[in-house]
Amino acid sequence: MQGTPEKIYAVEHIPGKGRGVVALTDITKGTRVMSEKPIITISQNITSIQQLRTCILDQVSSLSKYDRQEFFSMANVYGGINPLETWYGILRTNALPMGPNLDTGGIFLQACRINHACDGNAVHCWNENLNQLTIHAIRDIRKGEEITISYLATLRNRQARQDELLHNFGFLCACQLCCLPLGESKCNDAALDRIHAIDDIIEKRGIKGLVKPAQKMLSYVDEQVRIWKKTTIAEGGLTRAYPDAFQIAVANGDLARARVFAERCLRLYETSLGNDSPDVAEYGAFVVNPATHKYYGMSTKWATTVDEIPYSLDTQSFEDWLWRR
């Protein structure tokens, strides 16, 4: 018979932050810290106040006594002059996205107690296979350390982060990244600004940009990866950069590089999402056969086969080959 799994975190009072989640043991990178179903869900597709009112009322009134108490004790930076407004304020302060499109959010009794850090040591993700929200450690976390996630969809410069957090969550962030000495903070901001400028270029070019001008686009992603690697930010934006690089390679028929990029995506997703995540299954399949991606065949300009990966090269030469430097 299996014993009860050891509890690796506890919800505790954190000075200046209300409640928060603290590690009860050393937690290694890649560990699933929690996996949880929502007690309330709310969709952005609700179009009328009446619909919103009914949706919130129905769900709050069917909560168990314990869940209701916990829900009422959650942070609310939006206030409210009647119960319904107050509940809506709690939802807006605490809901975590249930999917990549951010159109549905959920209230989770444990995960919603996790405070923010711009460079969080954990990440949250909605797992469609489990129908649960998962939290994974993306760094080693020491016993007694607070477990933190980022509330921000993208990591912008310090001022932009602080403005967004103050506006949406009512606090002035004093995380490690926000408290860097001025010189270091400016360097960090410049790096993040450049990364986002490149993101904008890539987004503007859209799908056509994958093949024209392909080399330029791959160089942009290469630059992003090099910048992220110079920062101390856990995983940085690699979970975005490597899939971009994979798409560029596959769209140009370069199955050798596509497989390497797919392997890198897979490793990142296994750590931050867990082996049962749909993204792990998807990228696992691309590693086996990158040609199954829908963009394969857009161009044959860089055509290679998966057997052409030059594994015998030293690390630097391999990276030069990979990014076509």
Ligand X SMILES: C[S@@+](CC[C@H](N)C(=O)[O-])C[C@H]1O[C@@H](n2cnc3c(N)ncnc32)[C@H](O)[C@@H]1O
Contact region with ligand X (CB under 6 A), list: 22-30, 167-175, 234-242, 289-297: 167-175
* Residue 34 interacts with ligand X (CB under 6 A): yes or no: no
Cβ(116)–Cβ(149) under 8 Å? yes
Binding range to ligand X, per CB under 6 A, among 74-82, 233-241, 264-272, 292-300: 74-82
Nearest distance from residue 20's CB to ligand X, in Å?
A: 6
- Would you say 73 or 292 has its CB closer to ligand X? 73
Beta carbon of residue 121, minimum distance to ligand X (angstroms, whole number): 12
Query: Which position among 39, 42, 90, 173 is part of the footprint of ligand X (CB under 6 A)?
Result: 173
> Would you count residue 18 as binding ligand X (CB under 6 A)?
yes
Token pair for 64? 């168990």
Q: Using the rule CB under 6 A, is 17 a contact of ligand X?
A: yes
Phi, psi of 78 (to 5 degrees): -105, -5
Cβ closest to ligand X, residue 123 vs residue 211:
123
**150 belongs to the binding site for ligand X (CB under 6 A):** no
| Sole window of 41-49, 72-80, 119-127, 134-142 interacting with ligand X (rule: CB under 6 A) | 72-80
Strand-pairing partners, residue 43, are 104
Count of chain residues binding ligand X (CB under 6 A):
20
Phi, psi of 178 (to 5 degrees): -75, -20
* Residue number with the smallest Cβ distance to ligand X: 18
Over its C-alpha atoms, the chain yields an Rg (Å, rounded) of 22
Residue from 105, 113, 236, 254 binding ligand X (CB under 6 A): 113
Least Cβ distance, residue 179 to ligand X (angstroms): 11
Which residue of 8, 9, 20, 209 would you call a contact of ligand X, by CB under 6 A? 20
Q: Which residues pair with 32 in a beta bridge?
A: 136
Q: Given candidates 100, 144, 170, 297, which one binds ligand X under the rule CB under 6 A?
A: 170
Determine, following the binding rule CB under 6 A, whether residue 92 of this chain makes contact with ligand X. no
CB of 159 to ligand X, least distance (A): 16
Question: What is the footprint of ligand X within residues 181-220 (CB under 6 A)?
Answer: none
Of 36, 42, 106, 115, the one binding ligand X (CB under 6 A) is 115
User: Which strands form 104-107's sheet, in the order they lie side by side?
Assistant: 40-43, 104-107, 96-97
Q: Which of 72, 78, 169, 318 binds ligand X (CB under 6 A)?
A: 169
For residues 280 and 134, the answer to whether their CB atoms sit within 8 Å is: no
94 interacts with ligand X by CB under 6 A: yes
Residue 77 touching ligand X (CB under 6 A): yes
> Which chain residues interact with ligand X by CB under 6 A?
16-20, 74-75, 77, 93-94, 112-113, 115-117, 169-171, 173, 175
